[in-house]
Structure formats: structure tokens, C-alpha cells
Amino acid sequence: MNLSYLFDAAHWDPTLSGGIPQLILSHLGYVALALLIGTVIALPAGLYIGHTGRGSFLAINAGNAGRSLPTLGLLMLMVTLLGLGLTPVLIALSVLVIPPVLTSAYAGMRSLDQRVVDAARGMGMRPWQVLTRVELPMALPVLMSGFRSAALQVVATATVAAAVGLSGLGRLLIDGLAVNDYSRVLAGAIVVAVLAVGLDLLLALVQRWVVSPGLNPSPKGPS
């Protein structure tokens, strides 16, 4: 067990296909697509359920169901049904994104101070304006924490893409195991971990930037 693979400059050549930079790029590509698809599906659904209170059962149980779903199993099933390719991978990963986003969107909407929402209507905001100008900004802290946990999970799990012949950092693990190159496996594990931490830090910055300081427990004004 050593770090020689990770620190070999040859593996960091950005032009090399199969080099670490290109693997990171394709890995992040899967992550971004899965987050996009999962969010596009789960966010409106969660907001709607939270807003109307209809289907709360679904939103609450989605979290538990999602955690217990084996992604690799789902991926194999998708490959059997759809054949090899990007689509089954994206489906399997998006399914991972849906529960945390759905649950947090639901919880965010439920946690809103209804007196403030009432005030927004009383000021003469139309339903769409109430949603975009008051409800969403107020629910954002909860929403962002759901999105961040989804992102963490997908970064770690996107390694499965390599199991069905695609690229991504999973290549280092699978190919390393195949040839008993544990230095390569270790390099893969470390890069995935660093990527996960880095992405979470980035999202934490985004959160600080998009969430109003007025929503912090003890807001510090720019006064």
C-alpha cells in the first residue's frame, strides 16, 4: 500500500485519456447531470407537497426508502433493461439524489412561518410571487442542506459508472483491483474523498452567498 500512483506526475497529465484529471472531469460530469436531473424531478415535487400538504406520506418515506436502495443493484437492473451506456448510470444516480432533495424541499416548505406567508399575500403578492420572493428564499437553508447531502452521496457513488464500462474515478478502483494495483485503488479512493470534501466546501460557500443573512440564527448586519 503506497501513494506512488497518486504522486506520479505522469498520471496527472491533463491530455492523457485515463489520466486522473480526465477521470475527475468525467466523474464530475456524471455528478452534475445526476444532480440536475434529480433536482428537476424532486424539487418541484417536494415544494408542491410541502406547500399543499398533499402526499406528505410520500415525502417523509422517500428519505428512508432512498437510503435503503442499493445503487449498484439498481444500476445492474437498468443495464439489463436498457443495455450499456450513460442512461442507466444517470438513472441510478438520479434516484440517489431524489430522496434528500424531495425531503428537504418538503421540510423547508413545512417549516415556513405561516404568518410571514400570510403577510406576503396580504401585501398583494400573487401566488407565484409568494413562492419565489418569500417561500423559496426562506426555505433555502433547509433546501441547501438537502442538496449538499445529495451531492456528497453522488460524488461517492458515481464510482459505479466504471462498473458498467464508463469512465470516472471508479476506473482507478476497478482497474486497480483487476490488476492488484492497490496503489491505484488508494489513489482513486483519496481523489474521490478530496473531491467530495471540496465540492461540499464549494456548496457551503454558495449557500453563504445565496441565503439571506437575515435567516441566520443571530444575523450580523452590514451596519
| Least distance CB 55 / other proteins (angstroms) | 22
What are the angstrom distances between the C-alpha of 163 and each of 26, 156, 216? 14, 14, 43
User: Which residue, 107 or 120, has its beta carbon nearer to other proteins?
Assistant: 120
| DSSP string of 73-119, one letter each residue | HHHHHHHHHH-SSHHHHHHHHHHHHHHHHHHHHHHHHHTS-HHHHHH
| Least distance CB 216 / other proteins (angstroms) | 8
| Least distance CB 91 / other proteins (angstroms) | 36
User: Which residue, 75 or 139, has its beta carbon nearer to other proteins?
Assistant: 139
Q: How many Cβ atoms sit within 10 Å of the Cβ of residue 120?
A: 19
User: Which residue, 51 or 171, has its beta carbon nearer to other proteins?
Assistant: 51
Q: How many CA atoms lie within 13 A of 68 on its CB side?
A: 5
User: Which residue, 55 or 137, has its beta carbon nearer to other proteins?
Assistant: 137
Q: Give helix 71-82 / helix 86-110 axis angle, nearest 10°.
A: 130
- What does the binding site for other proteins look like in residue numbers (CB under 8 A)? 113, 115-116, 118-126, 129, 134, 137-138, 212-215, 218-219, 221-223
Instruction: State residue 145 phi and psi, 5-degree precision.
Output: -70, -35
| Least distance CB 68 / other proteins (angstroms) | 35
